Amino acid sequence: MRAIVAALVLAVAAASVVKDDYKDFIITKEPMINLDVKTKEVCILKLLNHILQPTMYDDIRDIAREFVLEDNMDKFLKAEVIKDFISLYKLGMLPRGEIFVNTDEKQLKEAIAVFRILYFAKDFDTFIKTACWLRERINNGMFVYCLNVAVVHRVDCNGIVLPAPYEVYPFLFVDSHIIKKVHMLKMTKGWLDPILKDYYGIVIKDNNLVIVDWRKGVRHTLTKDDRLTYFTEDIDLSTYLYNMHLMYPTWMIDDIYNVNKERRGEVMAYMNFQLLARYRLERLGWMMCDVKPLLFDKCIKKGVWPKIMLHTGDEMPVRMNNVDIMTDENAKIKLMIDDIDMMIRHAIMTGHITLRDGTVLTLRKAEDFETLARLVLGSTGLKNDDAKIANLVTLFRKMLGYGLYNINKYTYVPTALDMYRTCLRDPVYWKLMKRITDYFVTYKRLLPKYTREELSFPGIKVEHIETDKLVTFMDEFDLDITNSVYLDQSEMQKRRSDMVYVARMRRLNHHPFKVSIDVVSDKATDAVVRVFLGPKYDCMGRLLDINDKRLDMVEIDSFVHKLDTGKNTIVRNSVEMHGIIEQRPWTRTMWHRASDMSGTGVTNIDSWWYKSRIGFPHRLLLPLGRAGGFDLQLFVIVTPVRMGLVLPTVDLDTMKMRKICPWTTCVDTMPLGFPFDRPIDERVFYNTNVKFLDVKIFRKDLVNTNVAKDIDLSEMIMRRDDLTFLDKDMLMRRSYRDVMLMSVDNMSHL
């Protein structure tokens, strides 16, 4: 039923986009004040539509031509940001058409200057007109990045839902062979040899909807880790990491942006912890052991084939297996990394660090973890917001770069590790993050273990936990990649593509489930409930104790619940769990909803799919199960609401206003990851307010279900490949040779 509904929504949305010519909101030259969120969102959607080409909208072109930055300095909170940008602009910035890489020092410096003039615009009218001016003049990728960060951090943009990055710029999310087929269809206007259409899995609907099956084609593998590509190349997981960076850019460390009032360092550190824990669960499902931290004296055994083609036609470089890390080119970077590494580890062990300006920071107490996290993930200095050359994560990325020499200062072909939207594809990224999080693990080990008073909740007992059957499967999803093609002159005049191009992909999903928790209380009180999912056995089948698996516990839900006296039954549906985002609708659907000027459409704010500006994909709550069940454990702890245990400057109201409430950051000030963030004293850990439950996660095989609906499969057989995930989904034409081989195999068993 869900698949049918999704198909209907897709067809209706695509048909309406192709056939209907609705009225857009016009960005006027007069001051735009008192605009509602829907109208503001239309402006943003127009600016980001077909970003690789000059805008197709007359109003944006008119504003860009007539709006003069130098004549409107009084409309910005800081006039110096305009002067700084103009000086950079006159010297020459990243050319239009080149690839923007926000981890490159020079390009990042230019991007920060662009962000400043957007951020310091006094009102939305000045902001949107400045954006129109930039849209027609600066690099496309830089414009998208700066506009996204500005929308996330401007108060008057609160409630605006940005389009998914995989629809704005599909190149970084979609395999190159799909992009190539779409370009071929664009050139031929949908005409193609019927045999090739069938082989490639291409279907063209009557409403000019073109579907390309992602599964049809050659799949490249370098190592056995490639069986996890369904997770590491998941578009929503990459979007999650990218959005977290937009929320807390590593270069945004100044009080003028008010980000220091939030638990930004702790949030980013815990996000990395949780991503690693979730990745380890996925590996464990395939009986693969833990990922090892990155060491410079070892070669990189596992290569990466990104399968990414950029809009310039360049392919992201391939790194083969068994590549040495150390080269003549990165020796200087290694020295800087060693110096910073020694400085941070010395600070952790001694409990203090002295910055270059003489500022002394203490690293002794639990609340000082915020300082350490900003130190490691931000930069070595906590003042100013310039692009830092001493950012540890960026230095590691440079150290591991394996691209060719650049022809000039702007010709930059990034590797998968260089981009936030592609780095999860590279196995070395997980080794890098394992090394980065080791700083935090070491710091937490030096803190006192939690006492029984901190762990217990007198008068509260978790009596029973129960879940539905946990079942995972590979789902189908249609990804709109129309923005990967260029519009011709007639399409530009019509302001739409004649055809809508869709990539049909397979992705991990699970059936909705409920967790029921029975809690007995001797009083009426507010309580914080945390729910974790973690391993029971290691990769060799050995039973794990609590300290062996504490860093592998994935926090799938956390919430405040008001307990009544007596028995309380708490039921949590998986789609309602905290910090979880359901499937994002097509941007075309958002566009129509926002463009419904009659007011009859659904409001974007607080709608069913917009819970917060950041959120983990609901589909990926559970790791891929096994046919006979994947043994894991569910853990529940109920604690009182505790306040005042983080930096005094943290303002919970600020985070609530910006809708930044991952995990318990807006309701509780206990350290994120509690109670598993520190080594555990088992003598005081097991109290009445905690409980474990053994669970099994099953996998639904898809031999005869959920296959491509629009392709003739009558003569297809399954191709077997041990190095790819769920090999039963790979289809190929049955040949006479295959029939003979099957007959021989059958005879061999007689």
pLDDT at 465: 97
How many Å from the N-terminal Cα to the C-terminal Cα in the chain? 43
Lowest mean pLDDT among 345-349, 439-443, 730-734, 735-739: 735-739
pLDDT at 78: 92
Of 1 and 261, the structure prediction assigns the larger pLDDT to 261
Residue by residue, DSSP assigns 289-338 as -PPPPP-TTS-B---B----B-TTSPBPPPB-SSB-S--SSSHHHHHHHH
pLDDT at 658: 75
Is residue 5 scored above 60 in pLDDT? no
Q: Percent of the chain, pLDDT > 70?
A: 83
| Single pTM value for the model | 0.89
Lowest mean pLDDT among 110-124, 151-165, 626-640: 151-165
Whose structure tokens read 């708490």?
Answer: 570
pLDDT at 685: 96
Q: Are 670 and 664 in contact (CB under 8 A)?
A: yes
SS3 per residue for 544-568? CCHHHHHHHCEEEEEEEEEECCEEE
Smallest CA-to-CA distance from 591 within 141, 5, 20 is with: 20
Q: Is the peptide bond before 249 cis (omega within 30 degrees of 0)?
A: no
Domains and CATH numbers, the chain: 2-162 (1.20.1370.10), 224-445 (1.10.1280.10), 716-748 (no CATH)
pLDDT at 358: 81
For 225, phi and psi rounded to 5 degrees? Answer: -65, -20
Q: Percent of the chain, pLDDT > 90?
A: 57
pLDDT at 604: 42
Q: How far apart are CA 328 and CA 363, in angstroms?
A: 36
pLDDT digits (tens, 9 = 90+) for 262-282: 888 899 999 999 999 999 999
Q: pLDDT grade, residue 404 (50/70/90)? A: low
Q: Are 319 and 414 in contact (CB under 8 A)?
A: no
Smallest CA-to-CA distance from 519 within 574, 464, 455 is with: 464
pLDDT digits (tens, 9 = 90+) for 36-84: 888 898 899 999 999 999 999 999 999 999 999 999 999 999 999 999 9
Mean local confidence (pLDDT), 152-161: 89
Is residue 446 scored above 70 in pLDDT? yes
pLDDT at 433: 95
pLDDT at 614: 77
Is residue 19 scored above 50 in pLDDT? no
Q: How far is CA 379 from CA 365, 395, 503, in A?
A: 21, 11, 39
Q: How far is CA 662 from CA 154, 281, 596, in A?
A: 19, 21, 31
pLDDT digits (tens, 9 = 90+) for 651-709: 777 777 777 788 988 888 899 999 999 999 999 999 999 999 999 999 987 543 444 44
